[in-house]
Chains A and B, each alone.
Chain A
Amino acid sequence: GQNIDQPTEMTATEGAIVQINCTYQTSGFNGLFWYQQHAGEAPTFLSYNVLDGLEEKGRFSSFLSRSKGYSYLLLKELQMKDSASYLCAIDSGGGADGLTFGKGTHLIIQP
């Protein structure tokens, strides 16, 4: 079966750093995605991890540990516009199936 867990909601302060965790148990694994979704809008791609380690891209970084079934998204220098839902998604393999998404973490940024 497929199971992806993320916290439902997190709150952080403008200018600070926040880490959003994702744990997963899936039948196959080809890679892990993080998407950002503002209310009422389409998910937009943030990062993709296929190998263990940290991928840095500007203010956003994503980490993966395949042996632990664990990933996190790290957001630095938080801005009010970062208030959104952050979706962890697994590509189970082959590209033939759709991505399996977690329920998303709703991040609230306070001034």
Chain B
Amino acid sequence: NAGVMQNPRHLVRRRGQEARLRCSPMKGHSHVYWYRQLPEEGLKFMVYLQKENIIDESGMPKERFSAEFPKEGPSILRIQQVVRGDSAAYFCASSPVIGLAYNNEQFFGPGTRLTVL
């Protein structure tokens, strides 16, 4: 039973380029969360999605950042025109259907480390 998968694990971009980060949730999980972790900082919530729906994007910057979770395929976090301050580790987490879960435990993927040159 594969866990949460993220790719790429490491991504290097130059300022102004686009970054696409992919996340495949655990089998049977329909909820996906994206977090950003800056060096020496805690994980910061960005966005929460279900299939084809953005439920809460209150933690995501209004400009340059977007997320989707299509009916088929992985969830995508897209950062346009990257800047140096976007360099961070981006973690995806998934959880099963609310109400059937023992708790709101979120299972984390290995993360994508984005470096902007």
Contacts and interface: CB of A to CB of B under 8 A. Distances in A.
Nearest to A104: B42
Interface in B94-112: 95, 98, 101, 103-111
Contacts of B58: 97
Nearest to B89: A40
Interface residues of B, number: 31
Contacts, number: 68
A44 B48 CA distance: 19
B110 A95 contact: no
A45 B105 contact: yes
Contact of B45 (A41, A44, A100, A103): A100
Contact of A101 (B31, B43, B101, B103): B43
A91 B104 contact: yes
Interface in A31-53: 31, 33, 35, 41-45, 48, 50
Nearest to B109: A42
B56 A97 contact: yes
Contact of B43 (A31, A43, A95, A96): A43
A74 interface: no
Interface string A1-18: 000100000000000000
11 contacts: A41-B111, A42-B108, A42-B111, A43-B108, A87-B43, A91-B103, A96-B48, A97-B48, A97-B58, A98-B33, A98-B46
Interface of A: 4, 30-31, 33, 35, 41-45, 48, 50, 87, 89, 91, 94-104
